[in-house]
Amino acid sequence: MKIKEIDLEGEETLNAIAKADKFNYWMYSQMSPFIGGTILEIGSGIGNISRYLVEKFPKAELSDVRDQYTDKLKEQFPKQEVHTIDLVADLFEQKYSDLLDSFDFVFALNVVEHIKDDKLALINLAKLVKPGGKIFILVPAYQWLFNSFDVSLEHFQRYTKSTLSMICPEGCKVKNSFYFNAFGIIGWFSVGSVLRRKIIPEGNMRIYNIITPIIKVIDILVFKKIGLSVICVFQKSQK
């Protein structure tokens, strides 16, 4: 897969989301029941989630596919191991031989939708996980919500619990799956589909951050049956 060297739209979006610290922590907290042991974050970006991760897990390792982001991560988190990882790289096992079967928990938040061969990405991701380890994936939900935001951010598709479970890597099983951020559907559709904006407005994220405590209650009320994102937790079988 050819990767755009400088991701201007992506970084602008990440910078806008960085203003929503309450929302970012809520997203991070979805991993709490599953996270532990040796940890690797795939697609760390500018560190919006990483900052919470390293507070609780100082030895957690970070990664991204672009030097644009790994350089920032190394500067922001000088004590962390930062890797450059392409999940669909040719000769993946040879290229990342030192990382194979190394981690108890690997997670990728809003990463897989950027990869055309998502099944190969998860196959390779599973190679980084120890037997018995877990993979935590969060991606955008519902293809009917695909809009100008998705195009600008170079998303290939959106998912459901079913379609995400279908790309479960061989040798893994689905441990859990659920939706996240039901209220976000309204904003994503209104601004991306109706107004056809290409970048998530920073002001919108500030407001969203303020009302995050209310938004969290909505997810409880709908039993995580709908949401702007879908989460799936895979577990690698013991050898």
pLDDT at 12: 83
pLDDT digits (tens, 9 = 90+) for 67-98: 999 999 999 999 999 999 999 999 999 999 99
Task: State the residue for tokens 């194979």.
Answer: 100
What is the Cα–Cα distance from 198 to 192, expressed in whole angstroms?
7
Parallel/antiparallel/unpaired status of strands 129-140 and 229-236: antiparallel
- Sorted by where each begins, the domain ranges of the chain are 8-236
pLDDT digits (tens, 9 = 90+) for 152-201: 889 999 999 999 999 999 999 999 999 999 999 999 999 888 888 877 87
Share of the chain above pLDDT 90, in %: 84
Q: Which two tokens stand for residue 70?
A: 């790994």
8-236 architecture in CATH? 3-Layer(aba) Sandwich (3.40)
User: Has residue 228 got a pLDDT over 60?
Assistant: yes
Calculate the CA 84 to chain-centre distance.
Answer: 16
Tell me how many degrees the CA angle 233-216-22 measures, rounded to the nearest 5: 90
pLDDT at 199: 79
pLDDT at 192: 87
E strand segments, 144-228: 172-180
User: Has residue 6 got a pLDDT over 80?
Assistant: no
pLDDT at 4: 59
pTM: 0.95
- For helices 202-210 and 8-18, the axis angle rounded to 10 degrees is 30
- The contacts of residue 177 (CB under 8 Å, 6+ apart) are 161, 164, 165, 230, 231, 232, 233
Parallel/antiparallel/unpaired status of strands 39-42 and 103-109: parallel
pLDDT digits (tens, 9 = 90+) for 92-144: 999 999 999 999 999 999 999 999 999 999 999 999 999 999 999 999 999 99
Query: Contact, 203 vs 19, CB < 8 A?
Result: no
